[in-house]
Amino acid sequence: MSATAVLITGASGGIGYELAKLFARDHHNLVLVARSADKLAQVATELQAHGVTVKTIALDLAATPAPKFLFDQLQREGIAIEILVNNAGFGAFGEFAQMPIDEVLGQIDLNIRALTELTRLFLPPMIARRSGRIMHVASTAAFQPGPLMAVYYATKAYVLSFSEAIANELSDTGVTVTCFCPGATHTDFAKRAGMENSRLFKQVGAMSAEKVALDGYRAVMEGRGLAISGAHNWLVAQSTRFAPRKMVTAISRWIAEKAD
């Protein structure tokens, strides 16, 4: 494969798949990562029609050695990552005290640890080339606490804080860091989280993954530090800055609860 590519984690479906389509249409070679080898193979076949090279690597990024394994493999193959899209992530719904510990730690391992390690690994070569883009897919969950999804919301608050801090550190390097925050989006996320019947997805409404990915794609290509998908989501994120924290937290819980 040619020497440069965009690396997208969680590209077998949802927002990551839609992002992969946009990059392929703009003639970027791709490295796509997720656990499902079969789904990745289908995506690769589809996107190769755009005349780009698509490499797929089936990996569970929540497993400790996975980020380093991925980095080493791409180094060995001489593939330079021009854009890193840390998109893979999941949420689990339920009271923290009852949540199975593997669900608790799994969210931290994927949403925080893998994202941080991949960034730490792929960033130095970008700085050395004085060129590169990093996209972190956080969430509007980053802006307030989330009762019934306490760990998920906290992981996304980490992603926002981490992204803004390193964007500042990298300001003169030629490397941009974009923290992209979708709100509720129609993907497999809600089903995986066990929150399909929440007020958020039933009543507030969700955006299409296609539209969300386009917002994210534009933000990363413009090198914006923070982008929130959807005007309504932007308004909600702003309102959390002025309302009392207890009230924001109570509303966040109400939205996560089951719709009548």
Ligand X SMILES: NC(=O)c1ccc[n+]([C@@H]2O[C@H](COP(=O)([O-])OP(=O)(O)OC[C@H]3O[C@@H](n4cnc5c(N)ncnc54)[C@H](OP(=O)(O)O)[C@@H]3O)[C@@H](O)[C@H]2O)c1
For this structure, is 17 an active site residue? Answer: no
- Candidates 2, 188, 238, 254; binder of ligand X (CB under 6 A) is 188
Is the Cβ of residue 108 or residue 129 nearer to ligand X in the bound state? 108
Q: Which of 152, 153, 158, 217 is catalytic?
A: 152
Q: Are 209 and 187 a contacting pair, CB within 8 Å? A: yes
Q: Are 223 and 176 a contacting pair, CB within 8 Å? A: yes
Q: State the nearest-atom distance from the C-beta of 29 to ligand X, in Å.
A: 19
- Candidates 67, 89, 146, 216; binder of ligand X (CB under 6 A) is 89
| Using rule CB under 6 A, residue 195 touches ligand X | no
Please tell me the distance from the alpha carbon of residue 235 to that of residue 239, in angstroms, as a whole number: 6
Please tell me the distance from the alpha carbon of residue 147 to that of residue 85, in angstroms, as a whole number: 28
Q: Which stretch binds ligand X (CB under 6 A): 5-13, 48-56, 121-129, 245-253?
A: 5-13
Q: Which two tokens stand for residue 36?
A: 């499902």
Q: Which of residues 98-137 bind ligand X (CB under 6 A)?
A: 110, 137
Residue sitting closest to ligand X (CB): 14
Q: Are 140 and 237 a contacting pair, CB within 8 Å? A: yes
Q: State the nearest-atom distance from the C-beta of 226 to ligand X, in Å.
A: 14
Measured in residues, the chain has a length of 260
- Candidates 61, 118, 126, 177; binder of ligand X (CB under 6 A) is 61
Q: Are 186 and 208 a contacting pair, CB within 8 Å? A: yes
Q: Which stretch binds ligand X (CB under 6 A): 19-27, 31-39, 42-50, 247-255?
A: 31-39
Q: State the nearest-atom distance from the C-beta of 114 to ligand X, in Å.
A: 7
Please tell me the distance from the alpha carbon of residue 203 to that of residue 243, in angstroms, as a whole number: 22
Please tell me the distance from the alpha carbon of residue 170 to that of residue 233, in angstroms, as a whole number: 27
Q: Are 62 and 10 a contacting pair, CB within 8 Å? A: no
Binding site for ligand X (CB under 6 A): 9-16, 34-36, 39, 59-62, 87-91, 110, 137, 139, 182, 184-185, 187-189, 192
Catalytic residues: 152
